[in-house]
A and B are shown apart, each in its own frame.
Chain A
Amino acid sequence: MRKPKSAYPYWFVLPGAVIFTVLFLAPTVASFWFAFTRWDLYSAQFIGLDNFVQFFKEPFLVQGLWNTLIYAFLTSGTKSIFGLLLAVLLTSGIWAQGFLRTVVFFPVLVSTIGIGITFAALMHPTKGLINVGLDQIGIAGPGWLTSASLALYSIAFVDLWKGVGLATLIYIAGLSAISPDYYEAARIDGATRLQQFWRVTVPLVRPATVTVLTLSLIGGLRSFDLIWAMTKGGPGFSSDVLASVVYKQYQSGFYGLSTAGNVILFVLIAIIIVPMTYLFSRREVHQ
């Protein structure tokens, strides 16, 4: 006869469950609820899907959504590509390899707001070092942060500069895990350096690629501080992303609408990350 289940083990789960419920589960459920209300912080009136309908009716809010996707895919893609290339370079036994690794990783340690302010100054259309330098060689630099068509990409570039160090570090760990035997076998089979890169390195470093893409996509989708420090979403709404739109709605007192924006961001991250993780983990390479 089986003994009845004891409640004793569940006492050990209780502290963690309480913390998780109070700090994570309850706010998430509450934000889902407030997204369906007109909310002024003191009272909430249920209005169904009105906040979501309004969100998708407002052209600047939809632009924020598109900008979020462009920004997230652009920064994660470039971090992945440049991170891998830098990691290959920094594991190739070049001169001062250790020092150069530190140099690449350094921007990761610097405050995002500090970087935003510094680059905003560097990218100033007339007084910024970049355009002053371009001017010296006879090129009229564009308004990196003042042009509506360039601002988002300029911020994405700074995000790449700041974040590529972490991607490089993850790739260095991934490359170190690849047995040199694979490269030696490929050399004996006549693989050129380029073939070794495409046919050995890229497939075998896939676990690192999954980590870099997942982390940087999530980071990109919820990016706020760098954008706020550099353009505050401007000029106009040209560099606004979901997180900055949500912040602006909060500032304006549209708490229900901004919470709906948060829910959209949550769903967007889930829609992109969950299938991607599932797909990559199925194909993940086991050495």
Chain B
Amino acid sequence: MSSVTLTQIKKSFGSVDVMNNIDLSIEKGEFCVFVGPSGCGKSTLLRLIAGLELVTSGKIVIGDRDVTHAEPSARGIAMVFQSYALYPHLTVRENIGFGLSLAKRPKAEIKAKVEAAAEALQLGHLLDRKPKALSGGQRQRVAIGRAIVRNPAVFLFDEPLSNLDAALRTQMRMELTDLHRKLGATMIYVTHDQVEAMTMADKIVVLNGGRIEQVGTPMELYNKPASPFVAGFIGSPKMNLIEGSAAEALGCKVYGIRPEHLCLSTTEGQWEANVRHIERLGAETILHLDTVVIGPLIARVAGEEVPPVGTKIFASAIEGREFRF
């Protein structure tokens, strides 16, 4: 395992700058997640680290080696693709051992490494199958197995769970976190799903428009977002962000309050509101409120006992939980 340091990374496609002055340090053994909306540059940044794209300027150091201009295979990285990139004409065994056979390693070594990786990923009984005979989760594991046998300094994951259904995604999140714990490897993971970022990361890098908005632990980003963008991106349902004269009246340009940090009362409170819509999720309920003073609000309350649609209620922010930008 190795650390990864990016210094003043810039990437342009023609006259379009897609990454600007990226400085980032990822520690040895850290699980770092790049998160952001589509087109924010997170996959491009991963591909720059992988060497699949070359930087326009700046420096990439993996461990103590400057790999800015090194070939992908010489960077000591392994990558798991969104599509898995499993060769359909090869068996699971051949897919996992593909890199080793390219390097012309002895057959006995390839066999031992492939079987060890397969054992660790519970793929032992599937080694002679072709990818088309595997489920989505099994394919995912084969792709991870192919990365593991290379014994890389850094693992790179490009939205690896986005093709899986919700239940399998939750299971694979746990498996990946377990794998990280077991291998202790440096992992860089790209996703647009803030839940994946929050649940898996040691460190989250929030990207927006080709630049880093904020770097921090999941709870740092949740509790101390540096900008309205981060505040709105981290957390589900997203934070209520109020702008304009309503925010100015509250002493800021943008006022933020998370749905779970609103108190509701039928008798008194900060803002008078009308219940417009109710989303019952079982253990909790999401209320969509219309207020006269600050516009629409979303509130998250526990349980099922909620006022019906059309009821007049009062909403108040929990003290110390408000954000003013």
Contact = CB atoms under 8 A, between A and B. Distances in A.
Given A179-B83, A181-B83, A187 B89 contact: no
Given A189-B99, A199-B102, A181 B85 contact: yes
Contacts of A190: 73, 99, 102-103
Contacts of A181: 81-83, 85
Nearest to A203: B89
Assign chain B's interface to a size class. Answer: 20 to 34
Contacts of A184: 50, 52, 72, 79, 81, 85
Interface string B42-83: 000000001110000000000000000001110001110111
A183 to B, nearest CB: 9
A118 to B, nearest CB: 42
Contacts of A182: 85, 87
B88 interface: yes
Contacts of A191: 73, 102
B169 interface: no
Contacts of A136: none
A204 B87 CA distance: 8
Interface residues of A, number: 20
A206 B89 CA distance: 10
A188 B88 contact: no
A203 B85 CA distance: 14
B76 to A, nearest CB: 11
B81 A185 contact: yes
Contacts of B82: 181
A285 interface: yes
B150 A189 contact: yes
B255 interface: no
Contacts of B77: 188
Interface majority SS (helix, strand, loop, mixed), chain A = helix
Contacts of A285: 88-89
A2 interface: no
Nearest to B89: A203
A51 to B, nearest CB: 46
Interface string B93-111: 0000011001100000000
Nearest to B98: A189
Interface string A187-203: 11111000100011001
B88 A195 contact: no
Contact of B73 (A188, A199, A200, A203): A188
A287 interface: yes
B73 A189 contact: yes
Contacts of B50: 184, 188
B31 to A, nearest CB: 20
A185 B79 contact: yes
B85 A204 contact: no
A199 B146 CA distance: 16
A204 B86 CA distance: 11
B222 to A, nearest CB: 34
Contacts of A5: none
Nearest to B152: A188
B79 A188 contact: yes
Among the interface residues A181, A191, A203, which one has the most CB atoms of the partner chain B within 10 A? A181
A69 B103 CA distance: 41
Contact of B85 (A185, A195, A206, A286): A185
Contact of A200 (B78, B87, B103): B87
Given A187-B72, A206-B89, 8 more contacts: A188-B51, A188-B77, A188-B78, A188-B79, A189-B146, A190-B103, A204-B89, A285-B88
Q: Which 10 A-B pairs have the closest CB atoms?
A: A189-B99, A190-B73, A185-B85, A181-B85, A203-B89, A188-B72, A181-B81, A285-B89, A181-B83, A187-B72
24 contacts: A179-B83, A179-B85, A184-B50, A184-B81, A184-B85, A185-B79, A185-B85, A185-B146, A186-B98, A187-B52, A188-B50, A188-B77, A188-B78, A189-B98, A190-B99, A190-B102, A190-B103, A191-B73, A195-B102, A200-B87, A204-B89, A285-B89, A286-B132, A287-B88
